[in-house]
Amino acid sequence: MTEQIERELTEMFHERAAHLDVLPPLPAARARRARLQTALAMASVVSVLAAGGVVGVRLAASPAGPSAALAGSGSAREALERVAEHMLTGRWHVSGTERVYEPNTADPPGSGSDKPMSFTVDVDYDGQSKTGVARQNGEITAIQVGGVAYVPLHAQPDVLAYLPKGARWQRTPFPMFGQDAAALVTGASAGVSTTSGPSGSPLGPGTSGNGLRGATVRRTSTGFRIDAAAPFGGSSRTDVKLRADGTISSVHGESHVRIPNAANSGVTNETAIMDATFTPLTAPVDVAAPSPSTVVTDKQLGVAFQKAFKNGPPGSRPCPPSVMTPSPTMTEHRTTNGGSVTMTQTMPMLTCRLVPVAPGQGQGQEQGTPANPGTSPSPH
């Protein structure tokens, strides 16, 4: 019997292992950078609110009483509601740091997201006027005036060429502060989607605050603790300390998140530790909306992007799909000095065969050129 079980065990192990799809360490650069550009500055604040908010929704929607996810329900619920109310309607300053470990090792070197990093985040917010400003390492990363939010415009020169001269800000299609958490906490279930927040929303793709699919809140002697599961399998633990008046004093969070790459189903991981201190603001938030002539909308940006890349990157010409052929695989090596990581990946590349060119039309694209250098990884 024992021998039979051992044999079955060996066979089962090999069978399971053989069926496992071993993913190459592929990049999640796009989601990661989107998050870095617009979301990280607020992540420390809204992840707490969102986690609380999810429970708020559950409580509000449950006719049978407190959610099973909430331990010590009465006091925890009251504490959460008080915190949410203060965060949404009060006036506060939060100063936090987020230290990222075990970084996304598949990102290209130099992109900024491939190394262990530390961010200092400062957010001033006035809930009454829905006005706020976020700074990351001293630089403004977002402002919001009267519920309308703007982020600094980061566009390549080719795209900028199709935008109004002097454009420096991008108006976001959603508020940066308050909105998501407000919707969640008030339990306005219509339109509340904690699982599909827009990419680049304050909750950000892949952050622990976005798409929470499990949250357990426990009352502690100094506040409460939130254990949550992030999308794609990560988890986070957030300890919130409260003052005697029920407002947040400080937050310590540890999260282990996975960052998906929809294009190729690759997933990379990231571990981050966040500490933040909350203090009441006495003066109004001193920030003004940027001049309209310096602001572009998402739509304008999209049109400019399409125009800029309609014919492929500058210096190239369109490559008809019929001539795109998979080439032999290429191997690329990525080095992360900060994290002391070197990874290799092998992936198929689409290349463009020589395109026949009619006389007078210039030269065709050469064989072996990556079909889309803008998105192909840069060998290191």
Partner 1 sequence: MSPQDEAAFRDFVAAARPRLVRTAYLLCGDSHEAHDLVQVTLMRVHRRWRSIERADQPQAYARQVLVNLAASFWRRRLRAPLVALTALGERGEPDPTVAFADRAELWDAVMALPPRTRAVLVLRYFEDLSEADTAKALQCSVGSVKSQASRGIARLRSVLTEQREINSEWHQLPEVVS
Asked if 41 is part of the footprint of partner 1 (rule: CB under 8 A), the reply reads: no
Q: Which of 89, 342, 361, 367 contacts partner 1 by CB under 8 A? A: 342
Taking CB under 8 A as the rule, does residue 155 contact partner 1?
A: no
- Of 277-296, binders to partner 1 (CB under 8 A) are none
- β-pair partners for 143: 133, 150
Which uninterrupted H or E stretch holds 266? strand 266-280
* Cα distance between residue 123 and residue 134, in whole Å: 4
Half-sphere exposure of 204 (CA within 13 A, CB side): 26
Least CB distance to partner 1 at residue 265 (A): 7
- Interface mask (CB under 8 A) for partner 1, residues 111-140, using x and -? ------------------------------
72 binds partner 1 (CB under 8 A): no
Among 268, 272, 353, 377, binds partner 1 (CB under 8 A): 268
Query: Between residues 19 and 310, which has the closer beta carbon with respect to partner 1?
Result: 19
Pinpoint the alpha helices (H) of the chain: 2-19, 29-34, 40-61, 73-89, 157-160, 179-185, 298-309
CB atoms within 10 A of CB 363: 9
Contact pick of 33, 82, 237, 243 for partner 1 (by CB under 8 A): 237
Work out how close the CB of 67 gets to partner 1 at its nearest, in angstroms, rounded to a whole number: 8
The minimum distance between CB 52 and partner 1, in angstroms, equals 13
By CB under 8 A, name the one of 30, 58, 252, 307 that touches partner 1: 58
Query: Which SS3 state, helix, strand or coil, does residue 4 take?
Result: helix
User: Least distance in Å: CB of 116 to partner 1?
Assistant: 10
For 247-259, b where at least 16 C-beta lie within 10 A, e where not — what string?
bbebbebebbbbb
- Asked if residue 166 lies in contact with residue 293, where contact means CB atoms within 8 angstroms, the answer is yes
Nearer to partner 1, 6 or 78 (CB): 6
Contact 60, 248 (CB under 8 A): no
| CB nearer partner 1, residue 229 or residue 281 | 229
Distance (Å, whole) CA 184 – CA 192: 7
Question: Which residues contribute to the site for partner 1 (CB under 8 A)?
Answer: 1-2, 5-6, 8-17, 19-23, 25, 54, 58, 61, 67-69, 102, 105, 194-196, 211-216, 227-229, 231-233, 235, 237, 256, 258, 265, 267-269, 333, 335, 339-344, 346
